[in-house]
Homo-oligomer: A and B are copies of this chain.
Amino acid sequence: MAGSNYGKVFTVSTWGESHGSGLGVVVDGCPAGLDLCEEDIQCDLDKRKPGQSPFSTPRKEKDRIEILSGVFNGKTTGTPISLMVWNKDQRSKDYSKIADCYRPGHADLTYDLKYGFRDYRGGGRSSGRETIGRVAAGAIAKRILSTMGVDILTYTKSIGTVTIDNKNFDRNAIHKNYLCMPDKEAVSEAEKYLNDLIQQHNSAGGIIECQINHLPSGVGEPVFDKLDARLAYAIMSIGSVKGIEFGTGFNAASSTGLDNNDSYYYDEEHHIQKKSNHAGGMLGGISDGTEIILRAAIKPTPSIRSEQASVNKQGEDIDLVIEGRHDPIIVPRAVIVVEAMVAITLVDMLFINMCSTMDTIKKIYH
């Protein structure tokens, strides 16, 4: 059944395989009148591009985005925006070896189990390149959010066992290092950690954190379409994500009510404030107007140069060596993907919230 469509009123339909003609997305429900050009999208796509650091593959993917519809004279028209990139770096190579065997940690086996066969070239639809459409759509969502003043900050919180120290937190550092970490000291440590793993033909995972500021209050639809539930859905749909938490997250489980509750008080301007933000900016699945904070756990890259035990379709146990170009860490490249899914979800939920009260409806129809 159709599973490549996300969103309720602002929707995203992705398509494409790693080594097919190209990859793309149709964004439907984008309001008319938004300024949009290809460069607005390209800058986000470039963030997920490989070949930028010693820790990502040396492939030179061009990944130039093309807007095929929905924009006229520099503005969105309210009709579907079709975006695509052509696959250009498709070396015609011999896939016969990989076609018949199942790489541990990849979706090779489960695609075969579900569909009876699979496009085995470079992972096909389960490739990380599938996220191109998400990032492109996310760039549009972020432009909408920026007109409302909503600010999303996404970064690498940890790589393997190396975690940032909040005392060193420097927002400006994030895009000045290959690892997208907001802590320069942690960067040095993480680089060392990764270099060791590379030498061992091994790979690392990590944690991505996202802060959302200036989101209006009231966003989120009880009881199933709570804002955190929709964000969890969106982010867990990214390949390699193994967990998600909000605010204090899993640590809340071992806290107590007295410690975990966020107390209220009035500030000098008679606005309600909270003494803490353990809840992460939402209660009952509805935003309260303060910072939303979430974290996603990313598993280590499954493609490693080491020999691994596996099987082939011919019924044989094999020792598998995965050749080719692979990232020892995908976390930094996944930062923009998490941000994209967050942005898409926020736009969708902001639009949905517009018809929550008779008062808002009267602002439009009076």
The verdict on A43 contacting chain B, using a C-beta distance below 8 Å, is no
- A10 contacts B16, CB within 8 Å? no
Contacting residues, chain B, for A250 (C-beta < 8 A): 207, 242-243, 245, 250, 297
The verdict on A184 contacting chain B, using a C-beta distance below 8 Å, is no
A32, A224, A226, A258 interface centre (most CB from chain B within 10 Å): A224
Copy tally for this chain in the complex stands at 4
Sorted from nearest, which 9 A-B pairs have the closest CB atoms?
A107-B284, A3-B221, A243-B245, A233-B233, A203-B257, A2-B29, A114-B218, A32-B115, A110-B286
- B124 contacts A302, CB within 8 Å? no
Measured between C-beta atoms, what is the minimum distance from A229 to chain B in Å?
4
- A288 contacts B113, CB within 8 Å? yes
Chain A 225-249 interface 0/1 with B at a Cβ cutoff of 8 Å (1 = within): 1101111111111010011111111
Contacting residues, chain B, for A102 (C-beta < 8 A): 264, 272
Contacting residues, chain B, for A154 (C-beta < 8 A): none
Which A residues between 263 and 296 are near B, CB-CB below 8 angstroms?
Answer: 263-266, 270, 272, 275, 278-280, 282-289
* Total count of chain A residues near the partner, CB < 8 A: 168
Contacting residues, chain B, for A315 (C-beta < 8 A): 266, 270
The 25 sampled A-B contact pairs (Cβ below 8 Å) are A2-B28, A3-B226, A5-B13, A9-B9, A10-B355, A13-B13, A23-B69, A24-B82, A33-B358, A68-B84, A77-B117, A102-B272, A104-B264, A109-B272, A125-B223, A205-B253, A224-B233, A231-B236, A242-B252, A252-B298, A253-B299, A257-B300, A257-B304, A354-B364, A360-B364
Instruction: Give the complex CA separation of A230 and B287 in angstroms.
Output: 22
Measured between C-beta atoms, what is the minimum distance from A290 to chain B in Å?
11
- A21 contacts B68, CB within 8 Å? yes
Contacting residues, chain B, for A218 (C-beta < 8 A): 110, 113-115
Measured between C-beta atoms, what is the minimum distance from A215 to chain B in Å?
10
The verdict on A155 contacting chain B, using a C-beta distance below 8 Å, is no
- A110 contacts B217, CB within 8 Å? yes
The verdict on A17 contacting chain B, using a C-beta distance below 8 Å, is yes
The verdict on A138 contacting chain B, using a C-beta distance below 8 Å, is no
Chain A 97-128 interface 0/1 with B at a Cβ cutoff of 8 Å (1 = within): 00000101111011101111111000011100
A80, A160, A220 interface centre (most CB from chain B within 10 Å): A80
With A242-B245, A310-B263 known as contacts, the answer to whether A254 contacts B113 (CB < 8 A) is no
